Amino acid sequence: MRKKIVAGNWKMNTTVPEGVELAKAVKEKSAAVPAGIGLIVAVPFTHIVPVSEVLKGSRVGLSAENCADKEKGAYTGEVSVDMLVSAGCNYTILGHSERRQYYGETDEKLVAKTRLALDAGLGVILCVGENLSQREAGNHFKVVTEQIENVLFNFTAEDLSKIIVAYEPVWAIGTGKTATSDQAEEIHACIRKVIAGKFGEKAADDVTILYGGSCKPANAKELFACPDIDGGLIGGAALKADDFIQIALSY
Ligand code: 13P
């Protein structure tokens, strides 16, 4: 059975004290969310240690937003998977479109990062998604299929059980423009089909596929009602504990 998950991606927002307060509020309000729905917050590196203290013993999982593609050593400014685990992380986001777009994240680097993360015991939230020109050219299925093939096809079905996929159409991120539930569902179904072709029906049926891109309390219910949408990766709306929890209550 695949898990339903609502994850917040705080991106480069909040100071440490603000982040600690937000985490406290999410933890407190998480009691209202049915136990079958997983909750995760992905926070900046500086926030991981204090937020892990806040979330200790709670149901809210803790994720990083990225990790290094090397194990350790002379890589100034990078943060390794072992550092993340020792700081209290359970997951890391990888391949977010903002990293692909602004920081040269390639599928090749994502394979290395995913291998390191899984070997260190971190779950991976792997993001895929097309940009506006790719969608307008009608290439969205092709782009997303290739992203899945280029990264996930390097792993085993067992690895896949520790990977959450997030479909985030770049044109819907932070723009207020949400994909319609039909647009999101058809890509989610495509991702599941591509995964089934490589790893089998069971693995495809078990993989959690989140939607991300201007998901908010007003549209979460319709998106989450789609058969292949298993939750959300929430940006802006995750910065308010009430909105984040409201989205999780939309199931
Ligand atoms: P928004 O919800 O702000 O559009 O961001 C989505 C996202 O990028 C989550 O990773």
pTM for the whole thing? Answer: 0.98
Owner of token pair 């994502």 = 110
pLDDT band at 177 (very low <50, low <70, confident <90, very high): confident
Percent of the chain with pLDDT over 90: 96
pLDDT band at 1 (very low <50, low <70, confident <90, very high): confident
DSSP symbol at 35: T
CA distance 211 to 214: 10
- Nearest residue CA, atom 9 of ligand 1? 235
CA distance 73 to 138: 43
pLDDT band at 178 (very low <50, low <70, confident <90, very high): confident
**Which range marks the domain in which residue 155 is found?**
4-248
Phi and psi dihedrals of 70, rounded to 5? Answer: -125, 155
pLDDT band at 225 (very low <50, low <70, confident <90, very high): very high
C-alpha 5 – ligand 1 centre gap (Å) = 15
Q: What is the mean pLDDT of residues 64-81?
A: 98
> Vertex 147, ends 136 and 95: CA angle to 5°?
100
In the predicted model, what is the mean pLDDT of the chain? 97
39-43, 61-65, 123-127, 170-174, range with the lowest pLDDT:
170-174
Cβ-based burial of 235 (10 A; exposed 0-12, middle 13-18, buried ≥19): buried
What are 136-166's pLDDT values in tens digits? 999 999 999 999 999 999 999 999 999 999 9
Percent of the chain with pLDDT over 70: 100
C-alpha 9 – ligand 1 centre gap (Å) = 7
Q: Are strands 4-9 and 37-42 parallel, antiparallel or unpaired?
A: parallel
CATH of the domain at 80: 3.20.20.70
b/e per residue 176-201 (b: at least 16 CB within 10 A): eebbebebbbebbebbbebbeeebee
Q: What is the mean pLDDT of residues 204-209?
A: 98
pLDDT band at 111 (very low <50, low <70, confident <90, very high): very high
Ligand 1 atom with the shortest distance to the CA of 233? 9
- pLDDT, position 251: 85
- Using the predicted structure, report yes or no on whether residue 213 has a pLDDT greater than 90: yes
Q: What is the mean pLDDT of residues 177-200?
A: 96
How many domains, in total, are found in the chain? Answer: 1
Ligand 1 atom with the shortest distance to the CA of 96? 10
